[in-house]
């Protein structure tokens, strides 16, 4: 699967920190977060402990980001 081929954040909190570093805290991050809330019920500003280390949810979020053209491992975002 993608996460095995391309190691990246191991939890949603790490993923959120990576996105904030790349995108900042402005409107682009807010837009992305809203899409993830709608599609997966994940709020990157308030991640529940159960969601944080759910590997299936993390894979779905990573797949969604990839489809949106947002790279987590190098490349452009």
Domain ranges of the chain: 2-65
User: Is 27 a residue whose pLDDT tops 60?
Assistant: yes
Instruction: Give the tens place of pLDDT for each residue, 32-62.
Output: 999 999 999 999 999 999 999 899 999 999 9
| Whole-prediction pTM | 0.80
Q: What letters, b where the CB count within 10 A reaches 16 and e where it falls short, cover 5-18? A: eeebbeebeebbeb
User: Is 1 a residue whose pLDDT tops 50?
Assistant: no
Q: What's the token pair of residue 54? A: 């759910």
Average per-residue pLDDT for the chain: 86
Q: What letters, b where the CB count within 10 A reaches 16 and e where it falls short, cover 32-63? A: bbeebeeeeebebeebeeebbebeebbeebbe
Is the pLDDT higher at 77 or at 18?
18
What is the pLDDT at residue 74? 59
């Amino acid at each position: 699967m993608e996460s095995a081929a391309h190691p990246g954040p191991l939890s949603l909190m790490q993923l959120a920190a990576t996105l904030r570093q790349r995108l900042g805290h402005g409107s682009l991050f807010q837009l992305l977060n809203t899409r993830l809330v709608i599609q997966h019920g994940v709020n990157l500003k308030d991640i529940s402990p159960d969601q944080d280390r759910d590997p299936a949810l993390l894979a779905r979020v990573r797949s969604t980001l990839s489809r949106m053209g947002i790279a987590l491992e190098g490349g452009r975002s």
